[in-house]
Amino acid sequence: MSTEDTMHNNEHDHDHHGNFWTTYVFSTDHKMIAKQFLISGIIWALLGGALSVIFRLQLGFPDMDLSWLKPVLGEWIDIQGKLDPEFYLALVTMHGTIMVFFVLTAGLSGTFSNFLIPLQIGARDMASGFMNMLSYWFFFTSSTIMFISLFLETGPASGGWVIYPPLSALPQAMSGSGLGMTMWLVAMALFIVSTLLGGINYITTIINMRTDGMSFTKLPLTIWAFFLTAIIGLLSFPVLLSAALLLIFDRSFGTSFYLSEIYIGGEALPNTGGSPILFQHLFWFLGHPEVYIVLLPSLGITSEIIATNSRKPIFGYRAMIGSMLGIAILSFVVWAHHMFVTGMNPFLGSIFTLLTLIIAIPSAVKVFNYLTTLWKGNLIFTPAMLFSIGLVSYFISGGLTGLFMGNSAIDIQIHDTYFIVAHFHLVMGSAAFFGMLAGVYHWFPKMFGRMMDAKLGYIHFWFTFIGVYLIFFPMHYIGIAGFPRRYYSWTNFDTFNGFTDLNMFVSIAAIFTFVAQFIFLFNFFYSMFKGRRATANPWKSTTLEWTTPVDPGHGNWPGDIPKVYRWPYDLGKPVNDEYAAKFSDEEMKNVPDFIPQNIPFSKTPETNFPNENELIALEDEDDKAIEVK
């Protein structure tokens, strides 16, 4: 369903290496696979967003007659036009699953890791194009199964995206735990295979296929982010597979890994000795790193965009790498902070509080580094830059509320209330989403050889940025007031039965924000065919992808792969004293404010630092022969 949309995008590319099927469908070219992931991701995001609009209608307008949704939802709307409470849970579950896995994992990593890794490290393609293609098609199959499960008579999986057993293990507990859950598990198993295939490929490519001179200390931060993301995925997704495997055994073969002493549907089940907490441990061992699988690529993309559009180097390149490494490592030892009130040993709770709050330190370092990068910059507000600043804002506001939840004593009250909903939607949902959008705006010229319309981009940004805050900021208030999440309605409780207005406000904001995304959709597809033609390096950036032709063909560079001499952030580099003394004002003005990575130091004597002048001695004749445009 995704490939059809991309099939015309290279209409001027007379690069007929293969037929339609090998070029657009079963392509092994990393750029085409990236586009496939992107368009699939966009379709999933629309669907995920639409689901949230439906349940927001229920929450904001509990008395509304939803009969007009009957053509889509069928039996799930009853005769009075009311949404079925169980289907409400199905909507919530599928919204979570789709957004976390299909949009922000596959859509984000799949798109940008595939697209940027070979281009930015100077490789012709991924280590294995075939595996890369398999990765997409496993994802596609998984998507198809998950999509079909939406239309089951018994409904899709409805036990929350965390699928805690016994609820998810027993069809007696809710109808969604029947076939819907089975399909969820099958789809997720395929999804994990897809992610692992992708991850293995990314890591192998980054380690083995960097161009000459591209040492790890010269890698753009995007690549560092994708690299660490892939490693985290490789270590954590197999664990989800184990958790799912045991759940499948419990569901289908009657084992008791997670089930114990259950009386349901008028009978006592024979299972004893299982532990539901065991599932939660296994799940969150993936689940928490998953947060960073979603977030790190966005942070990497943002680092790149903010540096480029501030026309100055990212502040603290090494600190950025260090903090990402810290986050990656710590992400594996904080999982149980999701489980403070599950009856887990309180002592474990103390340890996880400690470890969890430590993770705030590298996150804080990242924020301060972004701010310092903006400081005294020469800021150009492309849509990508705006979305990156938006990401930093969400990362701060969502990250700070993490200090509440991470502290086990405070977590008791706000656990599973709207406070946590606000927290993770800002820090991982919206922030990652903004990273993805920023990436699309920034690399669109490289993907499709055309520019997206900037003005529409600005409108899209401001509507979305403000809209998202209008949705999630009030949720903190509702959360402080104690509203539990995943409630179909609050009218049963006096404690929660206020704030109808606020809920309506949130719902309206959600619909507004959702509708605003159509501006992006229009811009995206319109620009793909009719956008202004791009130049090879429209943002005056330094990384290698901008040294390719406007529409890079299979193999990326028509001639030799460029060699790399310098780090990726030689932006706004000052003229050194020696040259400043003899340069006229005119000459000073003509010194470019960016030096791409493939320019040898011998070509830039006016901006070299003394230690860089020494590096010239290491360059050979070929290097010196490189022409600077």
Partner 1 sequence: MNTQLHIMEEPKKTFTIHPKKFAMWLFITTVVMIFASLTSAYIVRQAEGNWLIFELPKILWVNSGIILFSSIFMHWAYVSAKNDNTKNVKIGIGAVAILGFTFLIGQVMAWGDLVNSNIFLVGNPSGSFVYVLTGLHSIHLVGGLIFLLIVLKSTIKLKVHSKNMAQIEMCTTFWHFLGGLWLYLFIFLLLYR
Partner 2 sequence: MFQVVIGIGILLVVLILFMLFRIGTLLDVVKGSNQKVVTKSNKVNAALFVVLLVIGFGWIFIYSYVYFDDYNLPLASEHGVETDYMFWVTMAITGVVFLITHILLFIFPIRYSYEENKRALFFPENHKLELIWTIVPAVVLSVLIFKGLQVWGDITSKAPEDAEVVEVMGQQFAWTPRYPGSDNRLGDFDYRLIGDDNKMGVDFTDDGSYDDFIPREIHLPKGKPVLFKIRARDVIHSVYAPHFRVKMDAVPGMPTSFHFVPTKTTAEMRVETGNAEFNYELACAEICGRGHFAMRMIIVVDTPEEYEKWKSEQTSLVAQNEILFNLVPDDKKELAKVKGKVKTEVAAVESSEEVKK
Three-class SS state of 450: strand
Q: Which is nearer to partner 2, 268 or 618 (CB)?
A: 268
The stretch near partner 2 (CB under 8 A) out of 18-26, 283-291, 292-300, 396-404 is 396-404
Structure tokens that stand for 389 in this block: 């600043």
Q: Which is nearer to partner 2, 473 or 512 (CB)?
A: 473
Q: Is 316 in the site for partner 1 (CB under 8 A)?
A: no
- At its nearest, how many Å lie between partner 1 and the CB of residue 535? 13
Specify whether the CB–CB gap between 555 and 125 falls below 8 A.
yes
Three-class SS state of 264: strand
- At its nearest, how many Å lie between partner 1 and the CB of residue 557? 8
Chain residues 166-225 in contact with partner 1, contact rule CB under 8 A: 196, 199-201, 203-205, 207-212, 214-215
- At its nearest, how many Å lie between partner 1 and the CB of residue 31? 13
Structure tokens that stand for 218 in this block: 């010269």
Q: Is 310 in the site for partner 2 (CB under 8 A)?
A: yes
Q: Is 122 in the site for partner 1 (CB under 8 A)?
A: yes
Chain residues 316-335 in contact with partner 2, contact rule CB under 8 A: 316-319
Encoded one letter per residue, x for contact with partner 2 by CB under 8 A and - for no contact, window 576-615 reads -------------x---x----------------------
Give the helix/strand (H/E) hosting 518. helix 500-530
Chain residues 9-68 in contact with partner 2, contact rule CB under 8 A: none
Structure tokens that stand for 21 in this block: 């099927």
Cα–Cα distance for residue pair 546/147, rounded to 1 Å: 37
Q: Is 412 in the site for partner 2 (CB under 8 A)?
A: yes
Distance of CA 410 to the CA centre of its chain: 28
Q: Is 403 in the site for partner 2 (CB under 8 A)?
A: yes
Q: Is 15 in the site for partner 1 (CB under 8 A)?
A: yes
Name, in order, each residue with C-beta under 8 angstroms of 532's C-beta and a sequence gap of 6 or more.
450, 451
Three-class SS state of 63: coil
# of chain residues touching partner 1 (CB under 8 A): 60
Is beta strand 263-264 parallel, antiparallel or unpaired with respect to 267-268?
A: antiparallel
Mind giving me the DSSP string for 230-254?
HHHHHHHHHHHHHHHHHHHHHHHH-
- At its nearest, how many Å lie between partner 1 and the CB of residue 285? 7
Rg of the chain over CA atoms, in angstroms? 25
With CB under 8 A as the contact rule, the residue among 74, 238, 254, 574 that binds partner 2 is 574
Structure tokens that stand for 121 in this block: 């490290």
- At its nearest, how many Å lie between partner 1 and the CB of residue 118? 12
- At its nearest, how many Å lie between partner 2 and the CB of residue 540? 8
For the chain, how far is it from start to end, CA to CA, in angstroms?
A: 42
Chain residues 54-113 in contact with partner 1, contact rule CB under 8 A: none
Name the amino acid, one letter, at 504.
M
The stretch near partner 2 (CB under 8 A) out of 7-15, 121-129, 270-278, 288-296 is 270-278
Chain residues 131-160 in contact with partner 2, contact rule CB under 8 A: 159-160
Name, in order, each residue with C-beta under 8 angstroms of 19's C-beta and a sequence gap of 6 or more.
none
Q: Which is nearer to partner 1, 153 or 261 (CB)?
A: 261
User: Residue 484 — φ and ψ, nearest 5°?
Assistant: -75, 150
User: Residue 268 — φ and ψ, nearest 5°?
Assistant: -90, 125
Name, in order, each residue with C-beta under 8 angstroms of 185's C-beta and a sequence gap of 6 or more.
244, 247, 248, 251
Chain residues 224-283 in contact with partner 1, contact rule CB under 8 A: 234-239, 241-243, 245-246, 249, 253-257, 272-275, 278, 281-282
CA dihedral (148, 149, 154, 159) in degrees, to 10, reads: -160
| Residue 601: contacted member of partner 1, partner 2, none (CB under 5 to 8 Å, by partner type) | none
Q: Is 139 in the site for partner 1 (CB under 8 A)?
A: no
| Residue 205: contacted member of partner 2, partner 1, none (CB under 5 to 8 Å, by partner type) | partner 1
With CB under 8 A as the contact rule, the residue among 76, 257, 488, 565 that binds partner 2 is 488
Q: Is 131 in the site for partner 1 (CB under 8 A)?
A: yes
Q: Which is nearer to partner 2, 138 or 419 (CB)?
A: 419
User: Residue 125 — φ and ψ, nearest 5°?
Assistant: -165, -175
Give the helix/strand (H/E) hosting 267. strand 267-268
Q: Is 492 in the site for partner 2 (CB under 8 A)?
A: yes
Helices 431-448 & 500-530 angle (0-180, nearest 10) = 10
Chain residues 292-311 in contact with partner 1, contact rule CB under 8 A: none
- At its nearest, how many Å lie between partner 2 and the CB of residue 520? 13
Chain residues 159-198 in contact with partner 2, contact rule CB under 8 A: 159-160, 164, 166-167, 170, 173-174
Cα–Cα distance for residue pair 107/44, rounded to 1 Å: 8
Give the helix/strand (H/E) hosting 263. strand 263-264
Three-class SS state of 602: helix
Q: Is 361 in the site for partner 2 (CB under 8 A)?
A: yes
Q: Is 375 in the site for partner 2 (CB under 8 A)?
A: yes
Q: Is 456 in the site for partner 2 (CB under 8 A)?
A: yes
Name the amino acid, one letter, at 348.
L
Q: Is 551 in the site for partner 1 (CB under 8 A)?
A: yes
Counting every residue written for the chain, the total comes to: 629
Q: Is 413 in the site for partner 2 (CB under 8 A)?
A: yes
Q: Which is nearer to partner 2, 37 or 335 (CB)?
A: 335
Cα–Cα distance for residue pair 152/422, rounded to 1 Å: 31
Q: Is 521 in the site for partner 2 (CB under 8 A)?
A: no
- At its nearest, how many Å lie between partner 1 and the CB of residue 564? 9
Cα–Cα distance for residue pair 322/303, rounded to 1 Å: 14
Cα–Cα distance for residue pair 261/268, rounded to 1 Å: 7
Residues that bind partner 1 (CB under 8 A): 12-15, 122, 124, 127-128, 131, 196, 199-201, 203-205, 207-212, 214-215, 234-239, 241-243, 245-246, 249, 253-257, 272-275, 278, 281-282, 285, 549-551, 553-555, 558-561, 563
